[in-house]
Amino acid sequence: MVEEIKDQDFSQSIENAPTPVVVDFWASWCGPCKMLSPVIEEVSDELSGKAKFFKLNVDENPVTAAQFKIASIPTVMVFKNGNMVDKFVGFRPKDAIKDALEKHI
């Protein structure tokens, strides 16, 4: 499951998570984001319990988007103990995403 996250609860959710956290930065006007979101949803189900999945709308949450210098979306970031340890930009197929995430799990 992918949960919606917002500026105000961002740092707390990232820092207090017991597992790695994956954040999908998206917006409603972004075509590739729409394609990526069901793929991330599938990955989140398959990695359920091993990582926590969030999505953040960059239009509604400009503070976090600016903090992480999001220059292109979709951007997916992986956090461990509150620190960003990996990111990728643009659409990826499911297998590629799973491979990338499993390195951190």
Partner 1 sequence: MSNRYDIAIVGSGPAGLSAAINAKIRNKNIIIFGSSELSGKLIKAPKIDNYLGLPDITGIQLKDRFQHHVANMGIDITYERINTIYAMGQYFGIAVNEKMYEASAVILATGIEYTKALKGEEEFLGRGVGYCATCDAPLYRGKIVTIIGYNKEAEAEANYVNELAKKTYYIPMYRESLNLNENVEIVRDKVVEISGGNKVEKVILKSKEIVTDGVFVLKDSIAPDKLVPGLIMENGHIKVDMNMKTNIEGCFAAGDCVGKPYQYMKAAGQGQVAALNAVFYIDKN
Active site members: 30, 33
Tell me whether residue 19 or residue 63 sits nearer to partner 1 (CB atom). Answer: 63
Min CB(24)–partner 1 separation in Å: 14
Min CB(6)–partner 1 separation in Å: 18
**Two tokens at 82?**
């509150």
Residue numbers at the binding site for partner 1 (CB under 8 A): 27, 29-32, 35, 38-39, 42, 58-59, 65, 69-73, 75, 89-96
- 2 in Cβ contact with 53 (< 8 Å): yes
Residue carrying structure tokens 């239009």 = 59
Of 32, 37, 33, 26, nearest to 65 by C-alpha is: 26
